[in-house]
Structures are given as structure tokens and as C-alpha cells.
Structure 1
Amino acid sequence: TPEQFPSVVNLLAESYNPHVRCGAAMALGLACAGTGNREAIAVLEPMLNDAVNYVRQGVLIASALICIQHTEATCPKVKMFREHYMKVISDKHDDIMAKFGAILAHGILDAGGRNVTVSLLTRSGQTDTMSVVGLLVFTQFWYWFPFSLFLSLAFSPTCLVTLNQDLKMPNVDYVSNAPPSVFAYPPALVDKKEEKKEKVETVELSITAKQKKRDLQKKGEKTDEATAMETDSDEKKTTTATTTIDDDTKSKKDVDDKDKVTSIEKKDDSAVPSNKKEKEPDSEILHNPTRVVKAQQRVLSLPKGSRYQTIKDITHAGIILVKDTQSNEPETLVELAKAGGPTKEEDLPEPPPPEPFEYRDD
């Protein structure tokens, strides 16, 4: 079983032979695919910094197979692995084989728009032959890179679709008895934008300009003392009067500036929002059809007083037939979306006929 397998491969993962270490990592990824097994991740995590490039490649792919469709709530190491994949991909000095493994791993985590998982078993618990063959050929990508495309044979959709007796989709609601963040889509990647620092011109106050002017005047008076002996006493009185007036105005402006700064600080303190988080609900309502990951199946249920009853247990997910307990009342069906978007065919312009041409067989 996947729970017992990590203890079997643990010693092989520490082997001196790099081929054995790579094989042990890939075996862990295939046996524990989609389970988020913490013991398997604990075996793989020290091997992320292995000295051999193809061992790191196998570890990256195996970790993605284990963590597919898992969030931080169900598998806390998912965020660390995602960051490590991006680090290896963006590192110019890392080996090309490790980069190829990181690119494959990142693609596996986001496969099928994050709506599929890797599973070797069918919903009834039987071995899925197509998945086994797909993973078998996928492991030979080292020989020919296009073999990696065979991994798509092992993908199975994680959905819940209910159909009535006419094989049409009625409007049915389900209850997921878990917080929405536990099984939600992972957040999209955000490109980090470099903030360019703009040079700000320093603004010179009128007070400092006047002070510099006075300093220059004082220096000029000291150098020209011999020539300035003939100045009158009236001029000295006027200069002293102007300096006292300037000092008074300077002190008043300083007081006003301090008052403005304190008032601005008070406004900023009052404008800071509170960091109180809203309490997350304990459950959420899902609508037919919906995305239901493998770990979410066991917490699904129909709401009380539901009009429909499932013929098979709803925890199996997939395509399930339902029985209408109120067949006398009109039934509302899910509107099917047209392929290519919601545009109306009448609004589309008619394509022009092709221009005449001559075909020459040289």
C-alpha cells in the first residue's frame, strides 16, 4: 500500500549508487501519486540537493506526482516545492537536466487546469491498465523526451457530475463539510515588479535661503572691513531690525510646521485599517457540475431536504445518477455553455470565400 511503501524504499534512497537513488525516488512518486504522503515527502526532501543531476530530476518529478492537487492545508510542503521548482527553473547556473525535471514537475502540479490527478486505480478500486501503461512509458523519457507525453494517459478528472434518468444535468447542490480554503485552487503566480527609485529634487525653504544670504553678507563684511568703515550708523540699525524680524518669522514658521506634522501623524494613525480576519465558514455549497478533489470526496453530502437522491454513494464522485423524489414538479436543468465562449452565432460575421488560385504540381 502507499502508506507502507516509504519504509520499504527508505534505505534505497540513501544508497551510494545514484541510479538506485533516482529509481527509489521515482518509485515513491509512482506508488504514492496523488496521496500527499508525508512520509514519502520526508524521504524525498533531503534528496532535493543531491550532487547528481539526474537524481535531482527524478526527485523533482516524484514530488510533483505526490503533491498533485494538494494545498497547504492537506500537504504543508506544497508551497516549498513550488518555490523550489521556480528557483531551479530561473537559476541560470543550474544543470539542464534538473531544469527539465523542474519544468515537468511544475506542469504536473498544474495539469489539466488543476482539475485532474494521477491515479493507478479506478473509482471502484481496480487497477487502471491505461494509467499503468502511461506511467510505464513516461518513465522512459530519459531515452526520448516525447515519451513524457504519455503521462496524460494516467490523468483522471476530479469532478462530480450528477445526471437524471434522461442523462441530463439537473440543478443539484452539494455540501462540502470542510472550509473552502482546504480544497481551493492554489493562488496564481504573481510576477515580482521591480520598483524603480525616482530621484526627488530637494526643496529649499525660503528661511534657509535667507539664512544663506545673511551668511554671505557677513563674510563679505569681514573681508571688506577696511572699505566698510564709512557706512553710517542708520544702516546698521536697519540691518539689525531686519534680522530680528526674520528670526521672529522663522520661529513662528517652525512652530506651525511642528503642528502640521503632529496633525498628519494623528491622521495616519487613525487611517490604519484593523487586521482582523473574517472567520472562514466550516462548509461550502457546491453546484452541479463541480470540481471535487480526491481528499474532498469523503466530506461530501447532500443537503437536508434535497429533491434528489443518489443511486450510488456520493463519496465516489465522478458521474452519478440521481433519482427525482418530486417528479410531478417541473425540473430545472443546467444550461450548457457553447464551445468557444458565450458569443451568439448570429452575431458572428460570415467568413469571406477564398480567393481564386491555381494549383501547380511541380
Structure 2
Amino acid sequence: MLVEHFNSHVRYGAAMALGIACAGTGYKEAISLLEPLLSAKENYVRQGAVIALSFIYVQQTDVGCPKVGEFRKQLTKMTTEKGEDSMAKFGAIIAQGILDVGGRNMTIALHNRSGTIDMGGVVGMMAFQQFWYWHSMVPFISLACKPTCLIALTKDLQMPKIEFKCNARASLFAYPPPLESKKKEEHEKVETAVLSITHKKKPAKKGEEKMEVDEEPKPAKEEEKKPVPDNEPPTHTIENPARVVRLQLKTLSMMENSRYKPVKSVTYGGIIMLLDRTPDQKAELVVQAVAGGTTLDPAAPEKQPHSTFEIDLKDY
């Protein structure tokens, strides 16, 4: 295998090629080939390994791909450790950005939804591969990023309020949990040790003195057990519009007795046009959220310019 080649440059190239070919799939075979490269002695090989693994782990969850959580922790460790090499640290920073690309609503793909090659994505990925020569080439990877969504529209380009059925558990495609800040460990107070000489110097107390007995050790605080989730249903519904990852598309279907009929299968994802079976009835549309930016609302009255006046520079 090229990932086990004696030449480190060949191993770097093989890692990047494997990551691009298996982007967003979570293939266990590809992950098992790339993981040994994380401990390579060459810093640029480790850099290529973390970037290639981020391609494969994009939009993967701990339920479907259990190793993605440990990989995120490893990236955080690489970026925060002072002794880590700068090249490997730079690769870890890029890998973190790829894992969370588009707010975790995008994936890496070099083809369109119809299966044809996307030349813009290919050129962007090729230019990104040259970041080792010029770091300004990194943003070109955005050309290879594709949104993962499902938006259903009517003939009037309106979004009707409908639901889709997903024949899989919701946790398989959920957002990864946010990073938790480290909690401060509570240290128990330790009593100050008293020397035996100090006891001898103290005057004898009246009455019987109690015999000193070692205090019973306090039981250690039991770790809070995480609540075990209830039995998750095998199916769930999603509303229009929705975030739909690539592996989730094949599990989608229309609800039974739905008012709308898709022009093409919803498994394609993206923008789907709908045919209304009961056009005489009023359709319930999705309420659009108010976004920032320019609006048509009346703004504050514009200030008028100053009136004309004469000025003589000789007075100054």
C-alpha cells in the first residue's frame, strides 16, 4: 500500500488522495489506513493525515462513527500543546475547520447531486492542495463544499409546511455535541500536621483525655453517571426546510397521504419541486424568519445638507 511506502512524500500524497476519495463517508477501512500516519515521525505526514481524516469524518457522529469524538479531542490537543510541531499544528487547525465547515451544514464533494463532475469543486480542491507552498491557497477548499439540505418548493417558489419521513434514528445524523469547558476540580482541605513536640509543650489538660484515633477516610465522590437514553424510535420526521446529510438521503420518503407529490425523488436532496394535489385549498406556508440587513421598512428621516454659505480664506 502507498500509505506504507518508505518515501514520506508518497505517504503524504496517498493520505490526501484517500481522504478526498472517501470524503464524508466515514469508511472504517480508510480510517484504519490513515490512523497509523498520525504517529509518523515526519511532521508533514502527520499534517496530511489529520486533514485527510477530517475529510472522511465531516458530518459524522459518534453513533455512526465512534472514533470521531476521539479525533476531535486529538485535534484540540495538537493545537494547544506547546511542544507540537508547527506544521502538524497548522494541519490540525485546518482539520478543525473542515470538520465544522459551513456550521456543520456542508460536506466535501467533487460532483453534483446528479453525479456529474463539478469542475469548480475539482479546481478548488486542486488549488487547496498547494497550501504547503502558499497558505493563501487554503480558502479555495470552499469551492468543493456543498450544502446538505432539503428544501421543498411549490410552483410559486413558496415553501409549504410539510414533513418528511426518515427511516433511521435521529441520533445517527444529529449535530455533534458542543465542546464542554473543563470543570474546576474541587480539592478537599487537608488538616495541618501537628508535631509531637508541640503536644508535649502544651500544659496537661484536666480530666481524661480522649485517645487519638485516626479519622475514617471520607468516601470518594462518586462520578455522576450520565443518564441512559430511552429506547430511541427507529424512525423520525423532519420539517421543510431541513438539514439532511449525504448518508441520510437514502432513508427519506414522503409521508403517507401527503398533499404534495415531488417532481423527483426526495433522495436527491437539495431543492425539490412539488406538485399540489389539491390546488383549490389554501396552502400552509413556512413562516420566514426575520433576517438582518437591508429592509423595505421606513427608515429614519435623512438629514438635509447644510445650506450654502460663503467663506473668505483671508480671514484665517
TM-score (norm 1): 0.72
Identity within the alignment, %: 48
- Structure 1 residue 83: deviation in Å? 1.2
Q: What CA deviation, in whole Å up to 9, does each residue of 1:257-296 have, x standing for no partner?
A: xxxxxxxxxxxxxxx9995532112111111100000000
What does residue range 282-301 of structure 1 map to in structure 2 within 5 Å?
282-301=234-253
Number of residue pairs matched? Answer: 283
Give the whole-Å Cα distance in 2 for the aligned partners of 1:172 and 1:126.
30
Q: For 1:133-212, what aligned pairs fall within 5 Å after superposition?
A: 133-197=123-187, 199=189
Say if 2:169 is the partner of 1:217.
no
CA distance in 2, matches of 1:116, 1:353: 44
- Give, in whole Å, the separation in 2 of the partners of 1:123 and 1:274: 40
Return the letter of the residue paired with 2:291.
Answer: A
Give the direction of change, closer, same or farther, for the CA distance of 1:19–1:168 in structure 2 (3 Å limit): same
Amino acid aligned to 2:259: R
Structure index of larger Rg: 1
1:102-141 aligned at under 5 Å gives the runs 102-141=92-131
Deviations 1:116-145 (A, max 9, x none): 000011111111111100000000000110
> The residue matched to 2:206 in structure 1 has which SS?
helix
Corresponding letter in the other structure for 2:205: L
Deviation (angstroms), 1:351: 9.0
For structure 1, the 5+ residue unaligned runs are 1-10, 203-212, 219-242, 248-271, 357-362
SS in structure 2 of the partner of residue 335 of structure 1: coil
**2:105 aligned partner, one-letter code:** N
Unpaired segments ≥5 residues, structure 2: 193-201, 211-223, 307-316
CA drift of 1:94 comes to 0.5
Render the CA deviation track for 1:233-264: whole Å, top value 9, x for unaligned.
Answer: xxxxxxxxxx8xxx9xxxxxxxxxxxxxxxxx
Between the aligned partners of 1:200 and 1:15, the Cα distance in structure 2 is 56
Q: Paired residue for 1:44? A: 34
Residue 165 and residue 85 in structure 1: after superposition, are their counterparts in 2 closer, same or farther (change >3 A)?
A: same
**Corresponding residue for residue 17 of structure 1:** 7
Tell me the residue number matched to 1:55.
45
Task: Give the drift of 1:24.
Answer: 0.7
Partner letter of residue 217 of structure 1? K
The equivalent residue for 1:333 is: 285
Task: Give the letter for the 2:165 counterpart.
Answer: V
Going from structure 1 to structure 2, the CA distance change for 1:187 and 1:168 (only over 3 Å counts) comes to same
Q: How does 1:284-323 map to 2 (within 5 A)?
A: 284-323=236-275
Letter in 2 for 1:72: D
Equivalent in the alignment of 1:225 = none
The residue that corresponds to 2:219 in the other structure is none
Q: How big is the shift at 1:169?
A: 0.8
Deviation of 1:74 after TM superposition, in Å, equals: 2.2
TM-score, normalised to structure 2's length? Answer: 0.82
* CA shift digits 1:2-30 (9 cap, x unpaired): xxxxxxxxx11111111111111111111
User: Structure 1's 195 and 164: CA in aligned 2 closer, same or farther, altered over 3 A?
Assistant: same
Give the letter aligned to residue 102 of structure 2. Answer: G
Q: CA deviation at 1:187?
A: 0.2
SS of residue in 2 equivalent to 1:328:
coil
Which residue of 1 is the match for residue 18 of structure 2? 28
Residue 78 of structure 1 is matched in structure 2 by 68
Question: CA offsets, 1:41-68, max 9 Å, x none?
Answer: 1110111000000000000000001110
- Classify 1:273/1:107 alpha carbon distance in 2 versus 1 (closer, same or farther; 3 Å): closer
C-alpha root-mean-square deviation of aligned residues, in Å? 2.9
Question: How far, CA to CA, are the matches of 1:353 and 1:59 in structure 2?
Answer: 59
